[in-house]
Amino acid sequence: MPDAERPIVDLGGKIALVTGASRGIGHAIARRLLEAGATVAANAPRLDEATLAAFAALEAIRPGALIPLEASVDQPEAARGLVRSLYQRCKRIDILVNNAGILRESVIGMISDEEIDAVLRTNLHSVIHLTQGAARLMMRGDGGAIVNLSSIMGRVGYPGQLVYASSKAGIVGATVSAAKELARYNIRVNAVAPGYIETHMTEGFSSEAKAKLVAQIGLGRAGRAEDVADVVLFLASDLARYVTGQVLGVDGGMVI
Ligand code: NDP
């Protein structure tokens, strides 16, 4: 293809894994990666009716380029199994997007061990397990890109989000450590830190809480899943070939 006709972001031939791709930000990321030419392994904890419909919409973007992978990433064996299945099918992985996450809110006195376990396993342990598995494969090839979903809550905290904010701050530590260790293998590791994005995760917030959040956003509106997905696409692509170990806010100016 002549250079002039080449898309700015071309992921043709790349194999990507996106966790939690059944809806919200993960679904938008899978869409962007597919649109840019990648083959995308889209993970979800259950291939139920809603997820199958969501994946059918992705499959329609480029038929044959979507690989649905059912696994609950909070289980170490299941997370490792994701990388194994991808290796069996494609023999490689070029892009890993650690997106799957859950939000639970409790005031400090009411936090249960079950909540700590569920949130840390889903949001943080999975990032470690998948980084481990993917990095091994990327090292055997010519490198790769890992993008983790942190949150502004990992930087500024929020009442009721001790556990969630801890998991998201942990992702920052995981990102910078992995970036330092893996740079020599041409594996870049970055994170995005979204602010308030309208998805299933935030739809249960009261209208008062939503209005308060929007009032803190310089750009004057809540974020959309696509606002985050475009930045993930950039970090996953060659446009960010000299960027590693960074945590990029995608928050409309909420935290400056
Ligand atoms: P949603 O709740 O809309 O989507 C979360 C996704 O993660 C779903 O696809 C869900 O699958 C999946 N998921 C949950 N648990 C597991 C699991 N054990 N294994 C595999 N997949 C799982 O959330 P968002 O799209 O808003 O969030 C995506 C990421 O962005 C999260 O890491 C979140 O913390 C982060 N983020 C979101 C912000 C926001 O304002 N929305 C702000 C900052 C960060 P299923 O639906 O099938 O359960």
- Domain positions in the chain are 3-249
CB 30 near ligand 1, within 6 Å:
no
Q: Tell me the C-alpha to C-alpha distance, in Å, between residue 244 and each of 73, 91, 175, 181, 222.
A: 24, 25, 9, 11, 27
Q: Which atom of ligand 1 is nearest to the CA of 225?
A: 25
Tell which residue, 114, 108, 214, has the closest CA to residue 161: 108
Quick check: is 164 catalytic? yes
Per-residue pLDDT tens over the stretch 155-190: 999 999 999 999 999 999 999 999 999 999 999 999
**CA–CA separation, 197 and 152 (whole Å):** 11
Superfamily per CATH, domain 3-249: NAD(P)-binding Rossmann-like Domain (3.40.50.720)
CB 167 near ligand 1, within 6 Å:
no
CA of 152 to the centre of ligand 1 (A): 15
Q: Half-sphere exposure of residue 234, counting CA atoms within 13 Å on the CB side?
A: 14
CA of 196 to the centre of ligand 1 (A): 13
Burial, 256: exposed, middle or buried (Cβ in 10 Å; 0-12, 13-18, 19+)?
exposed
**CA–CA separation, 200 and 108 (whole Å):** 24
Contact 224, 198 (CB under 8 A): yes
* Stretch 46-54: mean pLDDT: 98
Checking if the pLDDT of 72 tops 90, the result is yes
CA of 201 to the centre of ligand 1 (A): 7
**CA–CA separation, 214 and 145 (whole Å):** 32
pLDDT of residue 7: 74
CB burial of 209-241 (b: ≥16 within 10 Å; e: otherwise) equals: eeeebeeebeeeebbebebbbebbbbbbbeebe
Per-residue pLDDT tens over the stretch 189-247: 999 999 999 999 999 999 999 999 999 999 999 999 999 999 999 999 999 999 999 99
Q: Which amino acid would we find at residue 123? A: N
Angle at which helices 24-35 and 49-59 cross, to 10°: 20
Per-residue pLDDT tens over the stretch 97-152: 999 999 999 999 999 999 999 999 999 999 999 999 999 999 999 999 999 999 99
Residue 97 pairs in a beta bridge with 18, 147
CB 175 near ligand 1, within 6 Å:
no
CA of 159 to the centre of ligand 1 (A): 20
pLDDT of residue 8: 87
Q: For residue 162, give every residue at least 6 positions away whose Cβ sits within 8 Å of its Cβ, in sequence order, or none.
A: 106, 108, 111
Q: For residue 236, give every residue at least 6 positions away whose Cβ sits within 8 Å of its Cβ, in sequence order, or none.
A: 11, 16, 33, 95, 97, 145, 147
Checking if the pLDDT of 33 tops 70, the result is yes
Tokens 């960074």 belong to residue = 246
Burial, 194: exposed, middle or buried (Cβ in 10 Å; 0-12, 13-18, 19+)?
buried
Closest-CA residue, ligand 1 atom 41, reads 197
Q: Which atom of ligand 1 is nearest to the CA of 194?
A: 43
Checking if the pLDDT of 5 tops 90, the result is no
Look up residue 142 and give its two tokens.
């010519």
CB 170 near ligand 1, within 6 Å:
no
CA–chain centroid gap for 134, Å, is 14
pLDDT of residue 62: 97
Closest-CA residue, ligand 1 atom 44, reads 151
H/E element holding 145? Answer: strand 144-149
Checking if the pLDDT of 86 tops 90, the result is yes
